[in-house]
């Protein structure tokens, strides 16, 4: 996200605007004071290569309350801030922020390792997280190969299978479990057959990737431990579970993410400067390698519909919505 912060600051200054940075997201917006500070060109030097975000991020309950949003608005008005760029996941861009949209020109940039936002081909962070996962799987494969083991890896993504699916493709995994496409009943047998076949063909290891939100067709979670149990009990394979956890969210961002953040940040400033009182809040998206502006409300609603479709076991709908991001 630092690439986006840097680009917004520098493009804003380049276009003649005064640029402020808000520390700790909406929390900082409510607190005001020195959490909202004027930022100069060189204040954002040396941050593009850093992971996370130097301006901080916070889950803010206060912003869900009318009073919190009122205070946030006042803090902006006091400083004559009229244009706001929000960088975050669908939570940060969610409809509760409506109150702000009416008073401000606003544009969103999606930062999320999950790549779970409808309307953009990629979100900032997903590529870096995927690199980290692939690196870990490659490292784990060393042991798996030497000891002829089976590894079950749980990867992040909330209710989105992008990281799991792409990691499985990149690492030639034997099996992958993702929330949008739960396996048919009896999948355990099919998986065992597949794992066995790989060994028969001379493979010394098996790799299974489980998305943290993986479920069966009845909506029950499928855990990495359950998959391990199957491999151990049915195949007598020496099986280990690795939960990658927050390792996926750390470290240096990939070149792709640095460029994506930079392009989105620049486009966000242009979108803000183009906006009139009639312009709807937009999200900057990547579509076919082009920067485009899409309506924020619709994109957030569609993203949240995926979660609802999965919860309602309407997997065709979930895939249809996700499919707009990740086509065959």
Q: Which residues bind ligand F6P (CB under 6 A)?
A: 89, 112-114, 156-158, 212, 249
Structure tokens at 244: 């990658």
How far apart are CB 118 and ligand F6P at their closest, in Å?
A: 15
User: 247 or 319: whose CB is closer to ligand F6P?
Assistant: 247
User: 68 or 89: whose CB is closer to ligand F6P?
Assistant: 89
Of the residues 90, 114, 116, 257, only one is catalytic, namely 114
Strand residues in the chain grouped as ranges (E): 20-22, 36-38, 83-88, 105-112, 124-125, 150-155, 175-177, 206-211, 239-243, 282-287, 290-295
Task: Give the other-Cβ count within 10 Å of 207's Cβ.
Answer: 24
How far apart are CB 167 and ligand F6P at their closest, in Å?
A: 13
Task: Please count the residues of the chain.
Answer: 328
Distance (Å, whole) CA 120 – CA 287: 6
| Phi/psi of residue 293, nearest 5 degrees | -110, 125
How far apart are CB 161 and ligand F6P at their closest, in Å?
A: 11
User: 127 or 212: whose CB is closer to ligand F6P?
Assistant: 212
Burial of 315 (0-12, 13-18, 19+ CB in 10 A): middle
| Phi/psi of residue 216, nearest 5 degrees | -95, -175
User: 12 or 125: whose CB is closer to ligand F6P?
Assistant: 125
Structure tokens at 18: 């005064």
| Phi/psi of residue 156, nearest 5 degrees | -75, 180
Distance (Å, whole) CA 179 – CA 50: 31
State how far the alpha carbon of 219 is from the alpha carbons of 178, 214, 307, 313, in Å.
Answer: 12, 9, 12, 7
How far apart are CB 89 and ligand F6P at their closest, in Å?
A: 6
User: 163 or 309: whose CB is closer to ligand F6P?
Assistant: 163
Q: Which of 20, 11, 16 is nearest to 264 (CA)?
A: 11
Task: Tell me, yes or no, if 116 is annotated catalytic.
Answer: no
Distance (Å, whole) CA 163 – CA 160: 8
Question: Measured at CB, which residue is nearest to ligand F6P?
Answer: 156
How far apart are CB 139 and ligand F6P at their closest, in Å?
A: 20
How far apart are CB 133 and ligand F6P at their closest, in Å?
A: 11
User: 28 or 157: whose CB is closer to ligand F6P?
Assistant: 157
Helices 162-170, 126-147: inter-axial angle, 10-degree rounding: 50
Which residues have a catalytic role annotated? 114
């Amino acid at each position: 996200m630092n690439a986006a912060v840097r680009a917004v600051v520098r493009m804003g200054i380049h276009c003649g605007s005064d640029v402020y940075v808000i520390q700790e997201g909406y929390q900082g917006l409510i607190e005001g004071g020195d959490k909202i500070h004027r930022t100069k060109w060189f204040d954002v030097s040396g941050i593009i290569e850093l992971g996370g975000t130097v301006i901080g991020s916070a889950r803010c309950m206060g912003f869900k309350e009318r009073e919190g949003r009122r205070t946030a608005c006042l803090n902006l008005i006091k400083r004559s801030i009229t244009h706001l760029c929000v960088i975050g996941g669908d939570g940060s861009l969610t409809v509760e922020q409506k109150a702000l949209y009416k008073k401000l020109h606003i544009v969103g940039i999606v930062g999320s390792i999950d790549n779970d936002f409808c309307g953009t081909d990629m979100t900032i962070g997903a590529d870096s997280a995927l690199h980290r996962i692939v690196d870990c799987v490659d490292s784990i494969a060393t042991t798996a190969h030497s000891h002829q083991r089976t590894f079950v890896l749980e990867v992040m993504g909330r209710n989105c299978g992008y990281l799991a699916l792409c990691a499985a493709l990149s690492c030639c995994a034997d099996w992958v479990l993702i929330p949008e496409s739960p396996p048919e009943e009896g999948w355990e047998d099919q998986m065992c057959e597949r794992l066995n076949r790989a060994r028969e063909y001379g493979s010394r290891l098996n790799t299974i990737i489980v998305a943290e939100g993986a479920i069966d067709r009845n909506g029950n979670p499928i855990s990495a431990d359950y998959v391990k149990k199957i491999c151990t009990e049915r195949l007598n394979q020496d099986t280990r579970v690795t939960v990658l956890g927050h390792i996926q969210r750390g470290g240096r961002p990939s070149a792709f993410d640095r460029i994506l953040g930079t392009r989105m940040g620049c486009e966000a400033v242009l979108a803000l400067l183009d906006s009139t009182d009639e312009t709807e809040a937009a999200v900057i998206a990547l579509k076919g390698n082009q920067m485009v502006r899409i309506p924020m409300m619709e994109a957030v609603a569609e993203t949240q519909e995926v979660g609802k479709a999965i919860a309602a076991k309407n997997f065709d709908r979930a895939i249809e919505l996700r499919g707009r991001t990740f086509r065959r």
